[in-house]
């Protein structure tokens, strides 16, 4: 078509049936102005429907280039607290890269967020395959499942990845148990029969766990090995039983001597069985005929642990006398505020000045105060 056609004023477009165009002053009074009521501008939906407008806008959007953040940029935004748009990562390779960058960030929340997205967007076999290549990802996901008490998914993770390092985590969850011990046994047996549990160590752990659960069922106990042992100590000591059953339990479940002594000491002290503590833990030396503390615990840990239960001061002072190192015993006596022991220490060393200074630290008119006063008056053979 000739260009003159468009440039000639005699050809006007959209002149339907030669209608006249209203002058501008008349246009304000036309029917179109009533659509708005206030302004002569027409609302967009008076000209085109909302549905048609959305179609046009979607068409425009589809023709515009879409900017997708790189995995590095997405992780950086997450670290800044910006919610990510994971749906842009469609390819498996992109998702793998996203997980790698999340692990590099060393941020637990970021790593877990990415893992949970992958869990919901991948088929199980691909999800576990991806996790199996990343030890850190397995650790984070396993701990998350442990916190959620999701034993079924934890077993699946164990089975698919073949990673046995969190076998103890599964056992810990099972040890926490539920009200129904029979159901707990079923779960343990199902765990033991899983495909990836053929390693001897894992089978042994499961076997020991089954044995523990059966023991708890028989004795109406619950909890971890240590919790069960503490309950057993309480039961045996309350009934004035000996240590034979406790030693058998220790041997069966491989409780070390330090833990055995610590649990037993605290149970006896909580029951106020002070004489029993002396009977079990204080022995006469064959060579010096002097009493000693017979425990795998250090003297400091033993005495401080006992002191938490507010035992009689005379018991603490007698235990302090069992120590061969007098200087160490004196330091412990100071920490435990065993006044009588400290006063006797100064008297033995004829240290008059320290005794006078210590008098200000004891309660006036108390037995300790009068012990100091009597010592100061009765002796003149002081070193200072």
| Domain map (residue ranges) of the chain | 22-64
Residues whose CB is less than 8 angstroms from the CB of residue 217 and which lie 6 or more positions away in sequence, other chains included = 181, 182, 185
Judge contact between 151 and 130, C-beta under 8 A. no
Q: Please state which of the ranges 188-197, 312-321, 345-354 shows the lowest mean pLDDT.
A: 188-197
Q: How confident is the model at residue 192, as a pLDDT?
A: 66
Would the pLDDT of 32 be above 70? no
Average pLDDT over residues 350-378: 90
Count Cβ neighbours within 10 Å for each residue of 128-161 and write b for 16 or more, e otherwise: bebbeebeebbbbbbebbbeeeebeebbebbebb
Would the pLDDT of 337 be above 50? yes
Confidence class for position 185, pLDDT limits 50, 70, 90: confident
**What percent of the chain lies above the pLDDT cut of 70?**
71
Would the pLDDT of 164 be above 60? no
Residues whose CB is less than 8 angstroms from the CB of residue 250 and which lie 6 or more positions away in sequence, other chains included = 229, 260
Q: How confident is the model at residue 177, as a pLDDT?
A: 54
Q: How confident is the model at residue 7, as a pLDDT?
A: 45
Confidence class for position 59, pLDDT limits 50, 70, 90: low
What are the Cα distances from residue 215, in Å, to 185, 219, 232, 258?
11, 6, 11, 23
Strands 282-284, 291-293: parallel, antiparallel or unpaired by DSSP?
A: antiparallel
Q: Please state which of the ranges 22-36, 85-99, 322-336 shows the lowest mean pLDDT.
A: 22-36
Angle between helical axes of 299-307 and 326-336 (0-180°, round to 10):
20
Helix (H) / strand (E) element for 376: namely helix 367-378
Q: How confident is the model at residue 271, as a pLDDT?
A: 97
Confidence class for position 220, pLDDT limits 50, 70, 90: confident
Would the pLDDT of 27 be above 70? no
Top-confidence residue, 110 or 202: 110
Angle between helical axes of 167-176 and 200-219 (0-180°, round to 10):
10
**What percent of the chain lies above the pLDDT cut of 90?**
32
Judge contact between 109 and 74, C-beta under 8 A. no
Half-sphere exposure of 271 (CA within 13 A, CB side): 20
Average pLDDT, the chain: 79
């Amino acid at each position: 078509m000739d260009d003159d056609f468009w440039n000639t004023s005699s050809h006007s477009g959209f002149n339907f049936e030669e209608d006249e165009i209203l002058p501008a002053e008349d246009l304000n009074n036309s029917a179109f102005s009533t659509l708005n009521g206030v302004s002569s501008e027409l609302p967009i939906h008076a000209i085109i429907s909302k549905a048609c407008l959305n179609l046009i806008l979607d068409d425009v959007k589809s023709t515009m280039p879409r900017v997708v953040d790189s995995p590095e940029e997405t992780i950086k935004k997450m670290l800044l607290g910006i919610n990510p748009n994971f749906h842009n990562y469609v390819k498996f390779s992109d998702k793998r890269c996203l997980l790698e960058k999340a692990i590099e960030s060393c941020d637990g929340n970021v790593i877990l967020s990415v893992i949970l997205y992958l869990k919901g967007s991948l088929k199980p076999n691909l999800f576990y395959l991806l996790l199996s290549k990343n030890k850190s990802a397995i650790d984070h996901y396993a701990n998350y499942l442990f916190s959620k008490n999701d034993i079924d998914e934890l077993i699946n993770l164990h089975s698919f990845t073949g990673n046995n390092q969190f076998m103890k985590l599964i056992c810990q969850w099972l040890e926490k148990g539920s009200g129904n011990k029979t159901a707990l046994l079923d779960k343990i047996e199902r765990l033991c029969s899983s495909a990836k549990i053929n390693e001897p160590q894992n089978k042994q752990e499961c076997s020991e766990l089954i044995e523990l659960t059966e023991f708890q069922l028989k004795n109406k106990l619950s909890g971890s090995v240590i919790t069960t042992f503490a309950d057993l100590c309480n039961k045996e000591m309350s009934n004035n039983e000996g240590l034979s059953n406790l030693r058998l339990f220790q041997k069966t479940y491989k409780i070390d001597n330090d833990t055995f002594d610590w649990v037993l000491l605290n149970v006896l002290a909580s029951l106020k069985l002070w004489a029993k503590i002396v009977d079990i833990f204080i022995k006469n030396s064959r060579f010096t005929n002097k009493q000693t503390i017979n425990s795998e615990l250090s003297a400091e840990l033993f005495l401080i642990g006992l002191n938490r239960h507010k035992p009689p001061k005379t018991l603490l002072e007698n235990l302090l006398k069992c120590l061969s190192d007098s200087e160490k015993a004196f330091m412990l006596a100071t920490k435990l505020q065993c006044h009588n022991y400290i006063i006797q220490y100064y008297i033995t060393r004829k240290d008059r000045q320290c005794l006078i200074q210590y008098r200000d630290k004891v309660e006036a008119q108390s037995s300790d105060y009068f012990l100091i006063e009597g010592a100061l008056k009765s002796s003149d053979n002081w070193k200072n």
